[in-house]
Structure 1
Amino acid sequence: MNGMLEGKAVAVTGAGRGLGEAFATHAAQAGALVVVNDIEEGLAKQVADTINTYGGSAVVSAGDIADPDQAAAIVECCVQEFGRIDGLVNNAGLNYDTPSWRDEPDRIRELISVNVLGSMYTGTTALRAMAEAGRGGSIVNISSAASFGQHNLATYAASKGALASLTYSWALDCEEIGVRVNAVCPVAHTRMVWNSERALRGAPPSRTPAKIAPVVLYLLSDEADGITGQMVRCNGNQLHIIGQPYMKQPVLEREIWDSESVRRAFDGVLAAHLEPYGLEKRRPPRERELFATLESVS
């Protein structure tokens, strides 16, 4: 692999296996100095040892990103060990399937604490370090097209939608400090697939994390200069940009809207402009069953 990230220091959360492991090992092969984070220290050490054995440079920063101090420590480790931080991959995340009316507060809180707050804790610390260093940098958030809406994955989908909004906002805020912020929506056969009975019915094992890694490497690299605020979806074979939310035409105006005038608007002009809802409504019929299983674990 070429030296696309030669000399850059990159931290990857949730890198003990699956997508995070692929991102960390590919970054090292591309010349990056890598901080391998995972809540399971043994897994993180195995990945770091593999990188170092094959001539790369990696250190471990174990910890739970849901804890703000432990999240900050990942970035601090990168700066202390390598003298800088140039890139962050916010990959760590949780997922579970349940009908929304059976969801439980403790599970909701745990998932949001990792997927949303954890990414924010790690990301804001990294942005602070990048701003102080004045060299710019790149953050890649791992989101999901499940944020369009997904059966039995409301909490997970909401968390990934939050990462999409966070990506847009960070990209706007960070233009002045030269930091690019993008999100990747991967589809890959990972541990989340193995733990999901629904996903096992249709997830092709050929869609491996290694097929997603080149997208993340590119976005971390200087080759992606000028690319920011983008949601990029990759399933291994397909690569495309996900459209950002926008205000639809027509815009109806009147001085005061009351419930009757709102009803008439929806019965009339707006009826023809209602959006389909949910991920599966946005695909050709033959793709819906396959992608419904895959997107739930991306």
Structure 2
Amino acid sequence: MGVLEGKAVMVTGAGRGLGLAYAQHAAASGAAVVVNDVDVELAEEVAEGIRASDRRVVASGHSVTDDGQAAAIIELCVTEFGAIDGLVDNAALNHKALPWDDDPTRVRALVDVNVLEPLFCGMAAATAMRERGGVVVNVASGLVLGQPKAAAYSASKGAVASMTFSCAVDLAAHGIRVNAVCPLAWTRMIWDDPIERENGNPELSPDRIAPLVTFLLSDLAAGVTGQLVRFQGDRLHVVRQPGIKQPGLQRDHWEVEDFAAAFDGGLEGRRGRW
């Protein structure tokens, strides 16, 4: 038996790349899978391949940027398989641009997919899981720490990290675990970016990332929640929430010059007046 035997999992953006790998690995590990992609023909192709391995699967072409359609995907999983045990929020857009060259329409489309998708799907999944527990795996990015020409994408994935931390706290009492992965793999996002394509490593295939997501979906990760996990196919890190650097400085009243002195001194080692 696989580690996901008897579980029902929904994967967004599963028509290609990482989402495809996540859906295939979850199915091979025993899960019934909803393969969602706005390109429904791709979703159907992936579903057909999984079905050929005698696994339970259904394809979905719902748009994850619409709250009603996001809820309909979760309902589809429950209707087809009796429940939803796991959600993988993978659908995403990416582009590179300097701030003065970026296009507001393109930025809005990116935010709609990268931020509203995990919010809307997560809300619907949490509602369905509330009485019986479950798992949400969001897909963030190492770019939450920033990268040139990636302000929109980095901001969107920073939002995913923040909602992961928050939802993990909200949902823990209901037996729902929420984590996020920051994967690095050779995918279409890299192919479409000349700089990334030049620096990327073709050996880091999506197939190498998928076992991490399956682990987080499984009962083997029962004690893991509220974590941001970065995985490059060969190197695993846990990215901690940003903390407040200690020690801090305390004054009863602050003027402009006081802030200047504090930063000039590196905010180190002194309390009270200086």
Alignment TM-score > 0.5, same fold: yes
1:242 aligns with 2:242: no
**Quick one: distance in 2 between partners of 1:42 and 1:271?**
58
Q: Equivalent residue of 1:101, what SS?
A: coil
> Within 1, Cα distance between the matches of 2:105 and 2:235?
36
More helix by share: 1
Moved more, 233-242 or 37-46: 233-242
**1:231-255 per-position Cα deviation (integer Å, ceiling 9, x unaligned):** 1111111112112111111211111
Corresponding residue number in structure 2 for 1:190: 187
Aligned equivalents of 1:84 and 1:148: distance in 2? 36
Gaps of 5+ in 2: 270-274
Residue number in structure 2 paired with 1:289: none
The 5 A counterparts of 1:275-294 are: none
* Counterpart pick for 2:264 among 243, 258, 267: 267
What CA RMSD, in Å, does the superposition of the two structures yield over aligned residues? 1.1
- 1:95 corresponds in structure 2 to 94
What is the letter of the counterpart of residue 257 of structure 1?
W
Aligned to 2:149: 152
**Cα distance in 1, alignment partners of residues 254 and 124 from structure 2:** 44
Aligned with 2:30: secondary structure?
coil
Cα separation, 2, equivalents of 1:73 and 1:103:
33
TM-score, normalisation: structure 2: 0.96
Q: What is the SS of the residue equivalent to 2:267?
A: helix
Give the SS at the match of 1:201. helix
In 1, the alpha carbon distance for the partners of 2:187 and 2:66 equals 25
SS at match of 1:241: strand
Q: Is the 8 A contact 2:10 2:35 kept in 1?
A: yes
CA contact (8 A) 1:61 1:73 kept: no
Cα offset, 1:114, TM superposition? 0.4
List aligned pairs for 1:81-92, cutoff 5 A: 81-92=80-91
Residues 270 and 124 of structure 1: is their aligned pair in 2 closer, same or farther, counting only changes over 3 Å?
same
Aligned positions of 1:252-263 closer than 5 A: 252-263=249-260
| CA contact 1:8–1:33 (8 Å) conserved in 2 | yes
1:25-55, Cα deviation, whole Å (9 max, x unpaired): 1000000000000000000000000000111
State the secondary structure of the residue aligned to 2:100: helix
The CA distance in 1 between the partners of 2:89 and 2:168, in whole Å, is 15
2-structure distance, mates of 1:73, 1:196: 33
Structure 1-normalised TM-score?
0.88
Percent sequence identity over aligned pairs: 51
Question: Residue type matched to 2:137 in 1?
Answer: V
Residue 176 of structure 1: aligned partner: 173
